[in-house]
Structure 1
Amino acid sequence: MTELKTISSPEAPKAVGPYVQAVAHAGILYCSGSLPLNPATGTIEAADIAAEVRQSLANLAAVCAEAGTNLGRTLRTTIYTTRLSSFADINAAYAEFFDVRSPARTTIEVAALPLGATVEIDAIVALS
């Protein structure tokens, strides 16, 4: 059996519950949901939903870097949002992180997210 390896980046916000930022197993990185928290302050400082998407993805990018991979190797993401009416803004900010090849993705509207966020994104990423 391939060993499980916990991944934790000091460049990403600490988990706000009893979970880890990511787990690597059998060549795949399973990233927990990333809230749009500023890693230095642990608070949401984004001015709008597009900025929240950018911060969430920047946090995921830091976790990927800690594991020796990058968002360009993302296989699948899930976006949770409390404002599906902002789908176009979400897509525009999301596209800034995936230029040539976008991963498979699901977007789900939810009633609420932790800490009052309007966006949370998780990812499954191939390790390098």
Structure 2
Amino acid sequence: MTRRRPASFALLFYYAVLLASTAAAHGSPYPLFFWVLRGTPARVAVVLDCLVLVHIVVGVAKAQRLTWWILLGYNALQLASAAVGLWAWPMEELATAFGLDEGAATLRSVLLVSALAMAVATAYAWRLREAFWDENPYLF
């Protein structure tokens, strides 16, 4: 019996932290591509985001193949949204909407770091594709 932790444990931890941080952002402005959602649409987007992340966390824990595909799609969507956001959003206005006193430089660096983390997670998940062996399409 080996005592090594599964290679997907790092992905499980990353998406669990992402789930916690997304859930904690309820009511905040929710950036999505060219839009910054506020109020009820932002809350709905956060709930949907959290539901997808719960599926990813449980599916990674169960080594489910369908979850691997959902994870790649989710990451692609988030990376595209961050890229569009870096290009299209007026950073000063967005920083004000998020309540950041430091301004656009802080927000731009947060977007870049989160996009880099998502890209690394995507590359790592791609490398671990054989670890997702469960072909069952149901989580439970």
**TM-score, L = length of structure 1:** 0.28
Higher percent of residues as helix: 2
1 or 2, which has the higher strand percentage? 1
TM-score w.r.t. the length of structure 2 is 0.26
